A and B are shown apart, each in its own frame.
Chain A
């Protein structure tokens, strides 16, 4: 939009300006701008308003999490600070190097080497253009790691889609079918990660009807940081170097777009085009610059493009800047200044440096054949001046841009819903088990996993598929050539439980992420939270968000697992309604020696099988109920105090060397976990349900399929050592490994089921 824009108009006029320019700014925000420009005594320019829209967007400043919420008769001020970030503040672990501040959370690893981890979402772009949206989701989160001077070493991805057999007739006009989105999202993820040579080591694929038209694409990257090279210093006189791909008209208005519901009228211009080879070159250059000790600060260009990146740098430095937009290398001639300023073209980084470093930095980029130019200089004062060939096209006061805090007020109201337990029986447990193994959320994802390179860099010690292609609980990496220390990556997510209670859904997601990590030998675990929710302006959605956040505090504190980074993607709604509230918890653990890592496949005939943790009447939101067409009421609940004691004991057992395999119990409960561990090992298993530690009377199907949390199936070669390590926790020997390739479950002397493990594997492999 060219020319000055007068904000001296009434409320209706302000709303019209916000709408017509696609600013997604509220009336209160527009009014704040009005009085700001009134005091300045001038009109705003288009590029200035665009800058405010980017910086104040939900995507960039998390209005909902940092605002105020009316909840159960009181006002919560800053949900993030009072729940999730408070865990870290309360625990204050000395191994957290940087949390919630920079582009990624960073924790100590080995000497000068630290680990950075970030998980992002790229939902709306993937709904419109699945391949490009997913690919640039991967590219974007890799740049977050480069943006903390980190060397990316592994990717994770968790994907949520509508059912692949969703009837075409029910699909609203313009909405892409889940099977199309599924195919191209997975292809986009593989394309970007494989081409960049970063292994995709952990993830999940989840199906639910609420994701039709609004898939969720969570992309994560783990990287190595050298603490001595981690710098964030900006001073007046320093230069800003823009490096990487050219800037084009792709990806304009991505962040403001992410802050509204999806509708069919959205433009394609919001989806960017990815080029992993370009980013590979940028990666090499950034690491070389770091290792040569050049540069003083770095950030990636993501949402909001230059406007966000340069804005944040000036705020960090407490100074101003002169930006020369005509210096930006362009894909398309004739781009307008505001387009250059807000373009979200991919593969771009911003490196800040004292003038003396500039030539050397440009040289490193040139060596990697990466285009790089000095686009701006930091200045004394607090004015961000945007220039295009000597014309000032915008001038923004930095403290006003970042200091204006229009507290968003949200209202949270508990929706009135009632739940009840169904009376379902399992007349043929064997058939039910096979049906469960074939359910899309449980079935093998091998067809997708194999299209991702999970071994490049030669650091993947425990892979996504373990034993004879069983589903691993967590990935283990050995990132340093001369050290046996390992990085352990896992995740947890239970949208089904959230349909009953978002609090327990969040608690279970945390428990699951941690227990997956513990199962392979991980410890000293840090967490990342990624909320994907519906429109937070609707009180029922907001209520769930508050409840889930409260669970994050209660449970993570008890587990002593700090949150180090997180992100929220709200407004995930289409004309079909909101998505099921979905909280992904990613867990980053370490282990002192990867040679002690434990995989989930059975190892040897004759070894004893133990179950860790108590089984309860908790099938609400379970896949067994889902199979039977019910939701239920008794959602699994986490007793974090007991769970922590048992997790700590299990870690001791693993370190003592007596644990030969370990698999967590999750969707489908004991029966599914036992099936997976046996067909992954190619060995049979014999279990007696009567020996399971439990709370209350439980029917056979509940013992088989309950999804009570904090439980593991453990194979040990030394029962005495295992029992010693686990003393004081709830556990019991329930069976043994057999050589006959059958899953045999009894209740005392009565046979409950007896099936060939290859038949079970067949159901599991052909479910998708």
Chain B
């Protein structure tokens, strides 16, 4: 049986193609689906073995980044998606997709105002960041030990949580990635290593079960080594980039 992942898109989503190419190259069928088709009942989330919400500006990020798509998913498909997640199917939200996952409640972080809010620098920022991989049950980061580098590109990536949420998430090992200094330790809020001012340098989190993962950095832009900014210094243009492992883990988990 061929496994299938749904890459959901809305008007303004713009990273669907490259994201589909990544997971699609790992033997999983990737179908880009307009959210309208799900709303019209032409396609169902339950037809798929995994879900990716890619980056972009869904519905122009009007109201707030990810808010409108998050609202649609929550109000129209809340139960279905909760079941999808409870069945252990993987859900990956990248950048705008992370914002959507928080907005629709599949990931924590709605306790504070705004969830993922405007960067402290107050502008859009495109740069590569070092990430510290925390101990977690996240199925997407299995086998990742050392720090990795991925690019961020967003204007609203500042993750805010209440004290209570943070404590609960920390205890449940839900912090997956933290922005880090080059040497590996967490950035401690220092700019630009922490590019947006996220609380506790949080760059990515998962649900308690570890099968729902949201992150601001873009693993699909680091799939191959030649996408990294300093690849010309070494002699390994052909090898995998730091984002590859995340998709590889997703594919292996689906085939488990």
Interface of A toward B, CB cutoff 8 Å = 190, 194-197, 275-277, 280-281, 367-369, 449-463, 465-467, 478, 481, 594-595, 597-599, 601, 603, 661
Contacts and interface: CB of A to CB of B under 8 A. Distances in A.
Interface stretch (B123-131, B171-179, B205-213): B123-131
B226 A461 contact: yes
Interface of B: 11-12, 14-15, 17-18, 21, 25, 34, 36, 55-57, 59-60, 123-127, 151, 153, 218, 220-221, 223, 226-227, 229-230, 232-233, 237-238
Contact of A458 (B221, B229, B238): B221
Given A190-B124, A195-B60, A463 B229 contact: yes
Given A277-B12, A598-B232, A458 B226 contact: no
Contacts of B221: 455-456, 458
Contacts of B15: 197, 456-458
Contacts of B220: 458
Contacts, number: 95
A522 to B, nearest CB: 15
Given A195-B57, A453-B124, A454-B126, A280 B14 contact: yes
Given A190-B124, A197-B56, A450-B125, A455 B11 contact: no
List 7 A-B pairs, minimum CB-CB distance, nearest first.
Answer: A197-B14, A458-B18, A595-B237, A277-B60, A599-B232, A277-B12, A453-B153
A64 B59 CA distance: 44
14 contacts: A190-B124, A194-B57, A194-B153, A280-B11, A449-B126, A450-B125, A450-B126, A451-B124, A455-B126, A455-B151, A457-B17, A458-B227, A463-B229, A599-B232
A453 B57 CA distance: 13
A452 B227 CA distance: 17
B57 A277 contact: yes
A481 B226 CA distance: 12
Nearest to B18: A458
A462 B233 CA distance: 12
Q: Is the interface of B mostly helix, strand, loop or mixed?
A: mixed
Contacts of A280: 11-12, 14
Given A197-B14, A281-B11, A453-B124, A595 B229 contact: no
Given A197-B56, A458-B227, A603 B232 contact: yes
Given A196-B14, A459-B18, 6 more contacts: A451-B123, A453-B153, A599-B232, A601-B230, A601-B232, A661-B232
Contacts of A196: 14
A196 B18 CA distance: 14
Contacts of A459: 18
Given A369-B36, A595-B226, A277 B11 contact: yes
Nearest to A369: B11
A661 B233 CA distance: 9
Nearest to B220: A458
B17 A455 contact: no
A683 to B, nearest CB: 10
Q: Is the interface of A mostly helix, strand, loop or mixed?
A: loop
Contacts of A598: 232
Nearest to B22: A458
Contacts of A457: 15, 17-18
Nearest to A367: B34
B126 to A, nearest CB: 5
B11 A478 contact: no
B17 A277 contact: no
B190 to A, nearest CB: 16
A599 B226 CA distance: 12
A449 B21 CA distance: 27
Contacts of B153: 194, 453, 455-456
Q: Which of B21, B60, B229, B238 has the most CB of A within 10 A?
A: B229
A450 B238 CA distance: 27
Contacts of A275: 60
B223 A451 contact: no
Contacts of A595: 226, 237-238
Contact of B227 (A190, A369, A461, A597): A461
Contacts of B233: 467, 601, 603
Contact of B14 (A452, A456, A467, A594): A456
B18 A451 contact: no
A481 B12 contact: no
Contacts of A478: 226
Contacts of B151: 455
A375 B204 CA distance: 49
Nearest to B95: A456
A454 B126 CA distance: 7
A595 B239 CA distance: 11
Contacts of B238: 595
A454 B12 CA distance: 17
A587 to B, nearest CB: 20
Nearest to A454: B126
A598 B34 CA distance: 39
Contacts of B57: 194-195, 197, 277
Given A454-B126, A457-B18, A594 B226 contact: yes
Given A195-B12, A598-B232, A453 B21 contact: no
A259 B206 CA distance: 57
Contacts of A460: 227
Contacts of B17: 457
A711 B25 CA distance: 42
Contacts of B218: 455, 458
A452 B18 contact: no
Contacts of A454: 126
A85 B229 CA distance: 38
Contacts of B59: 277
Given A195-B57, A481-B21, A595-B237, A451 B125 contact: yes
Contacts of B55: 456
Nearest to B128: A455
Nearest to B152: A455
Nearest to A461: B226
Nearest to A597: B232
B96 to A, nearest CB: 10
A365 B56 CA distance: 20
Given A195-B12, A195-B57, A458-B18, A452 B34 contact: no
A720 B126 CA distance: 40
B194 to A, nearest CB: 15
A488 to B, nearest CB: 14
B60 A466 contact: no
A603 B235 CA distance: 11
A607 to B, nearest CB: 12
Nearest to A465: B229
A456 B123 CA distance: 17
B221 to A, nearest CB: 5
A599 B232 CA distance: 7
A466 B226 contact: no
Contacts of A369: 11, 36
B60 A452 contact: no
A565 to B, nearest CB: 26
A445 B168 CA distance: 42
A459 B223 CA distance: 11
A602 B123 CA distance: 31
B230 to A, nearest CB: 7
B126 A466 contact: no
A276 B218 CA distance: 22
A61 B36 CA distance: 43
Nearest to A198: B14
A458 B228 CA distance: 10
A449 B18 CA distance: 22
Q: Which of A275, A455, A460 has the most CB of B within 10 A?
A: A455
Q: Which of B36, B218, B221 has the most CB of A within 10 A?
A: B221
Q: Which of A277, A451, A454, A601 has the most CB of B within 10 A?
A: A277
Nearest to B55: A456
Contacts of A456: 14-15, 55, 153, 221
